């Protein structure tokens, strides 16, 4: 088997620091697996969709879209919200649309986090689409459970991406 040079990028926009904390854990998770090639996009949620600032960033990738330079790259998403019912699934689904137009391969975390995703004793967020935290008015910080889910997400993307990349090299 040939050694393959790969990289992983975590691109995010954070307003109160919550998304940044999740991004740090995702980076640690991805770094725990050598030989990765993928993207993880993170942002706070605004009215059930990604904020205009992050959408503007994605809009600026038209040159990459035109040449399909991101086609076939693996990608995940993560986000924060102010409360439950703040449009978690609509945010994920509208973000996936951006990836699809680039030809990227969305890698949802599903239920790979195990029992943690079903935790009901403590306030926590997260879904099969990606790691998440409740920011509330900005004063609530991500819980350890939410940070653990973010670490799991980074590690999961890294392991899936590495596996698929190695299979392509054969």
Q: Enter the DSSP assignment of 142.
A: P
| Sequence-distant (≥ 6) Cβ neighbours of residue 117 within 8 angstroms | 111, 126, 127, 128, 149
Q: What is the pLDDT of residues 105-132, one digit of tens each?
A: 999 999 998 888 787 887 778 889 999 9
| Range in 1-5, 71-75, 134-138 the model is least confident about | 1-5
Identify the CA nearest to 79 among candidates 13, 136, 2, 157.
13
Domain range summary for the chain, segments of one domain joined by +: 8-169
Quickly count: other Cβ atoms within 10 Å of residue 27's Cβ.
18
Which CATH superfamily hosts domain 8-169? Answer: Flavodoxin domain (3.40.50.360)
- Quickly state the pLDDT bin for 156 (edges 50, 70, 90): very high
pLDDT value at residue 1? 33
pLDDT above 60 (res 2): no
As a whole-number percent, the residues of the chain with pLDDT over 90 amount to 48
Q: Mean pLDDT over all residues of the chain?
A: 86
Q: How confident is the model at residue 135 (pLDDT cuts 50, 70, 90)?
A: confident
Q: Is 6 exposed, middle or buried (0-12, 13-18, 19+ CB in 10 A)?
A: middle
- Tokens 């605004």, residue located: 46
Task: Give the 3-state secondary structure of residue 79.
Answer: strand
pLDDT digits (tens, 9 = 90+) for 11-62: 899 989 999 999 999 988 888 776 557 889 999 988 889 999 999 999 999 9
CB 113 within 8 A of CB 90: no
- Between these two residues, 44 and 3, which has the higher pLDDT value? 44
Q: How far is CA 58 from CA 11, 51, 61, 64, 78, in A?
A: 11, 11, 5, 10, 15
């Amino acid at each position: 088997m040939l050694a393959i040079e790969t990289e992983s990028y975590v691109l995010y926009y954070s307003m109160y620091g919550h998304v940044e904390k999740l991004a740090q854990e995702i980076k640690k998770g991805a770094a725990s697996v050598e030989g990765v090639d993928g993207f993880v996009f993170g942002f706070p949620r605004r009215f059930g969709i990604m904020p205009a600032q992050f959408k503007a960033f994605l809009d600026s990738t038209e040159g990459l879209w035109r040449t399909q330079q991101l086609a076939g790259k693996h990608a995940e998403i993560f986000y924060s919200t102010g409360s439950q019912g703040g449009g978690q699934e609509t945010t994920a689904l509208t973000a996936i649309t951006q990836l699809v137009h680039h030809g990227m391969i969305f890698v949802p975390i599903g239920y790979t986090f195990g029992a943690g995703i079903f935790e009901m004793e403590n306030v926590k967020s997260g879904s099969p689409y990606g790691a998440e935290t409740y920011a509330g008015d900005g004063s609530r910080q991500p819980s350890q459970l939410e940070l653990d889910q973010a670490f799991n997400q980074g590690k999961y993307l890294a392991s899936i991406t590495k596996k698929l990349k190695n299979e392509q090299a054969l």
